[in-house]
């Protein structure tokens, strides 16, 4: 339960911030040469769709090991196989829907801000991957909760706390982008980097404040570890004043 809560504590806020700052991240890393604005938008949309399932991917790795610790290797294998098959089938279905029904394609493009960009159909692959990952963690979670009924409630509380704080922090980070748009020169790489960094710091502070108000134990543990590792000052032995100093 503690490992699950820590995975959720780190992955959900980072996922929300990555989604909000996806354009700044992509433009900072790839925004040069022949990588134009259309490429940036399409890559940023793919990043957002992939990052949606970041928490699920981390939790699956942990839950699979929980079954292995019990010597039950067949169950996670079957659950993973079901998820893989569903992901592949879903990718095919989404591609067909995108090609046959313009309304569906327009909805995806509008939601991901890729209107009019050639190759937007490729977004169906990260979308199906994330849906498959969410299905996978749901299957593993259900299977583990059936054996350990006390597992779900404290972990779900961590989900709600992190999600609530992350949504608020993501909203503030998104609004901060407009503010820092007038502060930094966003036509340069360093300006885009500083804009995204500043908005990310502001969003992170809001997330930390909300989690602190909710008395989140993972935040308290993180602060405690940080103080021990960074601010810890060892006592210097004074020794005898009559002894010579070397």
Chain segment 110-168, per-residue pLDDT in tens: 888 888 888 889 999 999 999 999 999 999 999 888 887 777 888 888 889 999 999 99
In whole angstroms, give the CA distance from residue 128 to residue 107: 16
User: Which of these, 200, 185, 59, 36, lies nearest to 119 by C-alpha position?
Assistant: 36
- The total of other beta-carbon atoms located within 10 Å of residue 176's CB is 22
Residue 83 near residue 136, CB atoms below 8 Å: yes
**43-68 b/e with 16+ CB inside 10 Å = b?**
bbbbbbbbbbbbbbbbbbeebbebbe
Residues 198-207 have pLDDT tens digits of 999 999 999 9
Whether the per-residue pLDDT at 183 is higher than 90: the answer is no
Residue 219 near residue 54, CB atoms below 8 Å: no
Residue 218: both structure tokens together: 């993972």
In whole angstroms, give the CA distance from residue 218 to residue 206: 16
The reported pLDDT for the residue numbered 164 is 93
User: Which of these, 23, 27, 15, lies nearest to 52 by C-alpha position?
Assistant: 15
In whole angstroms, give the CA distance from residue 209 to residue 219: 10
Residue 230: both structure tokens together: 């960074």
Q: Which residues contact 168 (CB under 8 A, 6 or more apart)?
A: 206, 207, 210
Q: Where are the domains of the chain?
A: 2-225
pLDDT confidence bin for 245, thresholds 50/70/90? very low
In whole angstroms, give the CA distance from residue 60 to residue 165: 23
- The total of other beta-carbon atoms located within 10 Å of residue 35's CB is 14
In whole angstroms, give the CA distance from residue 19 to residue 54: 11
pLDDT confidence bin for 209, thresholds 50/70/90? very high
Residue 60 near residue 136, CB atoms below 8 Å: yes
Residues 32-78 have pLDDT tens digits of 667 788 888 899 999 999 999 999 999 999 999 988 888 888 989 99
pTM of the model: 0.82
């Amino acid at each position: 339960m503690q490992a699950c809560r820590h995975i959720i504590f780190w992955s959900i806020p980072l996922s929300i911030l990555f989604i909000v700052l996806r354009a700044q991240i992509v433009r900072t890393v790839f925004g040069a040469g022949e990588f134009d604005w259309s490429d940036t938008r399409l890559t940023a949309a793919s990043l957002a769709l992939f990052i949606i399932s970041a928490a699920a991917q981390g939790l699956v790795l942990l839950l699979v090991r929980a079954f292995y610790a019990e010597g039950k290797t067949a169950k996670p294998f079957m659950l993973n196989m079901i998820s893989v098959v569903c992901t592949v089938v879903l990718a095919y279905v989404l591609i067909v829907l995108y090609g046959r029904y313009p309304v569906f394609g327009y909805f995806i493009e509008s939601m991901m801000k890729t209107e009019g960009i050639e190759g937007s159909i490729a977004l169906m692959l990260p979308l199906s991957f994330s849906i498959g990952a969410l299905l996978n963690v749901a299957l593993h979670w259900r299977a583990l909760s059936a054996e350990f009924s006390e597992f779900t409630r404290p972990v779900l509380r961590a989900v709600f706390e992190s999600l609530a704080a992350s949504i608020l922090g993501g909203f503030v980070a998104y609004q901060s982008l407009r503010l820092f748009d007038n502060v930094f020169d966003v036509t340069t790489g360093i300006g885009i980097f500083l804009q995204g960094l500043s908005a990310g710091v502001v969003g992170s502070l809001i997330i930390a404040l909300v989690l602190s108000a909710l008395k989140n134990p993972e935040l308290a543990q993180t602060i405690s570890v940080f103080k021990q590792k960074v601010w810890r000052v060892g006592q210097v032995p004074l020794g005898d004043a009559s002894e010579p100093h070397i």
